[in-house]
A and B are shown apart, each in its own frame.
Chain A
Amino acid sequence: MELPVLLRVNGVVHELNLDPRVTLLDALRERLGLTGTKKGCDQGACGACTVLVDGKRVLSCLTLAVTRGDGEGDITTIEGLAGNLDGDEHPVQRAFIACDAFQCGFCTPGQIMSAVALLAEGRAGSDAEIREFMSGNICRCGAYPNIVAAIRQAAGERGRAAV
């Protein structure tokens, strides 16, 4: 049986009717057409589906959409990162491009969402700390050195902006 669900995604409230089995990941991709969020393992092991809920990074593949379905909880996907769908890139997106922090690109939206949260958590103090707190995002191409470099660069820009 489908249930009425209100999802607030990238600042827009969407009214949907969803089977309670539908994950947030599938709702974003299949119902709202927001295909930037990727389905990797679909079992909470790879991080490709990472989105922000109220600024905190979570896995959309293990979140049932109906549990976020009262319009509470601000969901941010990669499409909403720059503030609007046609806006400039987010500083972390720019750093990923500048540092060539991807190869095939499939894990990249999840990496970037996770990195944005990591910076907000204040966990980019060293390469070791970045590696530890990015460990929930797997990159099968092995672009890790450049991912760490991109996050370090974005952290530096962020630090300068705050001064």
Chain B
Amino acid sequence: MQPFEYVRATGVRDAVTAATTDGETAFLAGGTTQVDLMKDGVLAPRVLIDITRLPLRGVAAGPDVLRVGALTTMEELAADPVVTRRLPVVRESLLLAASTQLRNMATIGGNLLQRTRCRYYRDLSCACNKRVPGAGCDAIDGHHRMHAILGTSEHCVATHASDLAVALVALDATVRTSGASGERALPLNAFYQTPGDTPGVEHELRPGELITEVEVPLLPDGTRSGYLKVRDRASYEFALASAAVAIQVTDGVVRDARIALGGLATVPWRCHDAENFLRGAPASEETYRAAADAALAGARPLPGNAFKVELGKRTVVRALSMVTAPLVTEPPG
């Protein structure tokens, strides 16, 4: 690990002032990605600003929105009673991610900013446009079974690793930030950037800008939501494909639907076309299959991950069937 200067911030203003805009400083929260990548030499900040003592921890529920402090841990958010009752998709996306040890450390703000698990990004001996702009991408001609089929470019096919971000994109969450030029509110749907020509630029945050809070709109009563994660082992593994879904069905007809995909795309992937298709359609597996076709219509697989197109579609169908099944098979009494 490269040497760095350690600074412990005592207030948000402190932290933001200590951060420079030249990319030489980094914030340290849970550290589960930051410390790992510093050990590997992928990240090498000159100054590490410990923000763990900032008063940004806790969950507050209003009538329509949940406010989540950026330093709330994944375990804390998963255990929140409002999340358990009103936002199953959020709870499931949290508990299906990582391990309890990591969820006790990792924060919500950090989770949204976690780096890709692309092996080529994490290996300094490999070419990676995300790590070194213009260096090339060894994944495209290499082992890319885990890589993205949506939102890719000729420069990068790395997937976004967060499960929570998939759920929050589906729910139209907003990220609140504090930075040198003041405070901002950024819709999560427009927060993440596909790689294009600049895979190193992953989101709308400016250097030195800090996430302070995440606002999650609560789902309307009667909405069914859930998170389905398909992976190589039953637990403690990143997604090959995942789907966050929320759907309202009355009298057998879909009134509203939200779908976002994980493990398949370079950013948490919202599926507006599939949602539009579902609205007003009968709640049936046939409809779900057609919606899934729409969700994956833009897929551009590589030779090693072509299986993900069908896998992604089946994940969408199963997630929708899973959350709506109780509507037709509710046990008596």
Using a CB–CB cutoff of 8 Å, the interface residues on chain A facing chain B are 1, 3, 19-21, 23, 42-44, 47, 50, 56-59, 62-64, 66-67, 114, 117-118, 121, 131-133, 135-137
Residues of B within 8 A of A114 (CB): 100-101
Note all chain A residues with C-beta closer than 8 A to B3: 19, 21
Does A47 lie within 8 Å of B101, measured CB to CB?
A: yes
Is B281 among interface residues, defined by CB-CB distance under 8 A? no
CA of A132 to CA of B233 in the docked complex: distance in angstroms?
11
The 0/1 profile, CB within 8 Å of A marked 1, for residues 56-93 of chain B is: 00000000000000000001000000000000000000
A64 contact from B28, B40, B104, B234, Cβ within 8 A: B28
User: In the bound complex, what is the Cα–Cα distance between A114 and B28 (angstroms)?
Assistant: 24
Say how far B304's CB is from chain A's closest CB, in angstroms: 23
Question: What is the bound-complex CA distance between A66 and B32, given in angstroms?
Answer: 15
Inside 8 A of B105's CB, which chain A residues have their CB? Answer: 58-59, 62-63
A23 to B100, Cβ gap below 8 A?
A: no
* Interface contact B32-A44, CB-CB below 8 Å: yes
Q: Does B17 sit at the interface, judged by CB under 8 A? A: no
5 A–B contact pairs at CB < 8 A?
A56-B104, A62-B35, A121-B100, A135-B99, A135-B234
A57–B39 touching, CB < 8 Å: no
Contact A136 B102 (CB under 8 A): yes
Complex CA gap A59/B99 in Å reads 10
Q: List, in ascending order, chain B residues with CB within 8 A of A132's CB.
A: 234-235
A42 partner residues in chain B, CB cutoff 8 A: 39
Give bound CA distance, A136 to B35, whole Å. 18
Q: Does B307 contact A (CB under 8 A)?
A: no
Question: How many Å lie between the Cα of A67 and that of B6 in the bound state?
Answer: 9
Q: How far is the CB of A82 from chain B (nearest CB, A)?
A: 21
List chain B positions with a Cβ less than 8 A from chain A. Answer: 1, 3-6, 28, 31-32, 35-36, 39-40, 48, 50, 52, 75, 98-102, 104-105, 234-236
The total of Cβ contacts below 8 Å across the A-B interface reads 73
Closest to B32 in A: A62
Interface secondary structure of A, over-half rule: mixed
User: A20-B48, A135-B99 given as contacts; is B6 within 8 A of A43 (CB)?
Assistant: no
Chain B residues with CB below 8 A from A121, complex form: 100
- B100 near A136: Cβ-Cβ < 8 Å: yes
Once the chains bind, are A20 and B35 in contact (CB under 8 Å)?
no
- Nearest to B237 among chain A residues (CB) is A135
Least CB distance from B154 to A in Å reads 30
Bound complex: CA A143 to CA B52 (Å): 37
B4 touches A50 (CB 8 A): no
Which B-chain residue is minimally distant from A53 (CB atoms)? Answer: B104
Assess whether A66 is in contact with B6, with CB atoms less than 8 Å apart: yes
Name which of B39, B40, B98, B234 has the most chain A CB atoms within 10 A of its CB: B39
- The 3 closest A-B CB pairs, nearest first, are A136-B99, A135-B235, A20-B6
Q: Is A62 within 8 A of B36, CB to CB?
A: yes
CA distance A26 to B101 in the complex (A): 18
- Bound Cα distance from A160 to B58, whole angstroms: 35
> Could you tell me if B31 and A63 are in contact, using CB atoms closer than 8 angstroms?
yes
Cα distance, A68 to B3, chains bound together (Å) = 19
A19 to B2, CA, bound (A): 11
Q: Complex Cα distance A4/B100, Å?
A: 30
Chain A nearest CB, measured from B234 CB (Å): 8
Across-interface contacts of B32 in A (CB, < 8 A): 44, 59, 62
Q: Please, which residues of chain B bring their CB within 8 A of the CB of A135?
A: 99, 234-236
Is A58's CB under 8 angstroms from B35's CB? no
Query: What is the CA–CA distance of A3 and B100 in the complex, to the nearest angstrom?
Result: 30
- In the complex, what residues of A have CB within 8 A of residue B35's CB? 23, 62-64
Known: A42-B39, A43-B39, A44-B32. A118 touches B102 (CB 8 A): no
Knowing A23-B35, A66-B6, A67-B28 touch, does A47 contact B104 (C-beta < 8 A)? no
> Out of B1, B31, B101, which one reaches A57, CB within 8 Å?
B101
- Which listed residue, A19, A20, A43, A57, touches B100 by the CB 8 Å rule? A57
Q: Nearest chain A CB to B93's CB is how many angstroms away?
A: 15
Write out the residue numbers on chain A whose beta carbons fall within 8 Å of the beta carbon of B75.
56
Check A3/B6 contact, CB under 8 A, given A64-B28, A67-B28: yes
Q: A44-B32, A131-B234, A136-B236 are in contact. List 14 more A-B contacts (CB 8 A).
A: A20-B4, A21-B1, A42-B39, A43-B36, A43-B39, A50-B101, A57-B100, A59-B32, A62-B31, A62-B36, A63-B105, A66-B50, A67-B28, A137-B99
- Tell me, rounded to whole Å, the shortest Cβ–Cβ distance linking B309 to chain A: 28
